[in-house]
Amino acid sequence: MESLAPVAATAGVSVTVVEPGAVASSFIANVGGDLASSGPVDDPYADTLAPYLARAASSFSAAQSAHSAGAVLAGLLDGDRPAFRVQTSEGARQFVAAKLADLDGSVVQGMTAAWLA
């Protein structure tokens, strides 16, 4: 979007990238389902998926409320010129800061790999 924003601006369209991070919802409950019965018995991802979803569930249980994230979005719509990149929570700001400083992707991959342990 960064490279397309100047192109869109020539048509009077402004672009804002919203990076919400984790928002408390039923998302993880719906994604995980019952892992023991949902996949094949020899599912090669089962041992990796379970800890990943457990980490995600933990993250989402302490996440920003949907109301709070929505309030940020409503503020953007009411504003004259929102920033190009907006995070809706401090957790999102921390993650985006790490990602934007991660030129080769190793930091973010290391963070995600730690979720699998």
Residue range 42-81, pLDDT digits in tens: 778 778 877 877 887 777 777 899 999 999 999 999 888 8
Provide the CA 107 distance to its chain's centre, in angstroms: 16
Structure confidence at residue 94 (pLDDT): 92
Alpha carbon separation from 81 to 55, 78, 86, 90 (Å, rounded): 36, 9, 12, 21
Residue extents of the structural domains in the chain: 5-114
Of 98, 93, 114, 96, nearest to 48 (Cα)? 114
pTM: 0.73
Greater confidence (37 vs 30) lies with 30
The whole-number pLDDT of residue 38 equals 59
pLDDT for 35 equals 53
SS (H, E, C) 36-55: HHHCCCCCCCHHHHHHHHHH
Backbone angles phi, psi at 88, to 5 degrees: -95, -5
**Section 6-13 average pLDDT:** 95
Q: Which of 77-81, 82-86, 95-99 has the lowest mean pLDDT?
A: 77-81
Contacts of 57 (CB under 8 A, 6+ apart): 28, 29, 32
